[in-house]
Amino acid sequence: MRLLNIAVVSTSLVAALLAQAPPSSTLKVGDTAPDFTLPSTDGGDMHLADYIGKSTVVLAFFPAAFTGG
């Protein structure tokens, strides 16, 4: 019975998350990206502004990459 309850709650949670609307964006192809900060692999922070005018930045997003799922 406990396993059934966990399955029902999990399914409800997933359904609620999937029902959320994605955030809206006014960015279009070719627009300059707004400044942002992300954690780096060495424990520090990476700031997009640190690279403006110094090098080309390519930002790639891989949803669920390396999650094992």
SS3 39: strand
pLDDT at 31 over 70: yes
Strands 45-47 and 37-39: antiparallel
Spans of all domains in the chain: 25-63
pLDDT at 11 over 70: no
pLDDT at 7 over 60: no
Confidence tier at 10 by pLDDT (50, 70, 90):
low
What is residue 1's predicted lDDT score, i.e. its pLDDT?
56
φ, ψ for residue 53 (rounded to 5)? 80, 0
Is the model more confident about 63 or about 23? 63
How many angstroms separate the CA atoms of 18 and 14, rounded? 6
| Residue 45 exposed, middle or buried by CB count within 10 Å (0-12, 13-18, 19+) | exposed
